Structure 1
Amino acid sequence: MFYRLILNSTLALASVFTVQHTALAQSVDVPFNGTVPVQATFTETTPAYIEPTVSGNSDGMPTTLEPLTPATVNVQTSTNATITVSTPVLLSGASEDPPGTIKIGYVSFGGNTYSSDVGGGSAPLPAGTNDLQVSMLVERPTAFPAGTYTYTVTLTVTP
């Protein structure tokens, strides 16, 4: 009886191992992907100062602000990229920009000028070091009240 118990147990275990070893081999590919971002460094920013301009129909009051000389920015990129210039944003001033105000940001390099109001303000930026000239125009339908105004134009580098 003990002999039969051992024999049956051995046969049962052998059949379990046999069934387990007869399973079909399978494999799966596990994909990994990612993006190496563009490395961009902005250095040596030289600010510009905006000047008021009087138009012919504004009764001697300024309706336009723009710099006489552009700001300069140096950007270094690890690969070809896209640079985007934003419209000017009023950070502080004696009054808010009224409806109908025209705001345009500009970036110039390599002999070309790109503006925020054409093509979304985006341009191809070659790899390496690029000296950028950044400018802006803000033209109100009414005169600027006396005071100090601060605007910002944002440059964004993307792959």
Structure 2
Amino acid sequence: MNDDLRALIRTIPDYPHAGIMFRDITTLLLDGAGFALSIERLAAAVASDFDQIAGIEARGFVFGAALAHRLGKGMVLVRKKNKLPGAVIGVNYALEYGEDRVEIHADAVIPGARILLVDDLIATGGTALAAAQLFRVAGASVTQAAFVIDLPALGGAARLRATGVEVSALLAFDGD
């Protein structure tokens, strides 16, 4: 399924480190028909019972904004620290070596909102889990997450599901 979209995603071996098979969605974005199909298929894959879409910096902005337009929903930007002007709320999360932070505008979330989290790819799930926690702090809940690509061997989608989030992805790459 979605082999037409799979063919539009370039694999770059040994980037950014030896042994990594980088899945590059920029080639999908270059193909207008393929990008449009990916948005239509993401729209079909998600349930309609959510209030806002949240896109994770930076490629999640691309897919999230197009999906928000397609579904007529507002969009919240989930950014790395110190990127948003004005009052923000944020959550720190652990990286392999150190920590990072995601933030949203303090007034961006409708109280009690059900959020659809969108990004291009889920790997270990660290950023998506932090974003879900951030929305809980903001008084909302991430009920669904949609990705173009899942890397199931890294376990991120399973970790997100374990928190009660329904996860969908158009494609899975098993390390090939």
User: Please, what TM-score do these two structures have when normalized by structure 1?
Assistant: 0.26
User: Please, what TM-score do these two structures have when normalized by structure 2?
Assistant: 0.24
Larger radius of gyration: 1
Which protein has the bigger strand share? 1
Higher relative contact order (CA 8 A, sep 6+): 1
Which protein has the bigger helix share? 2
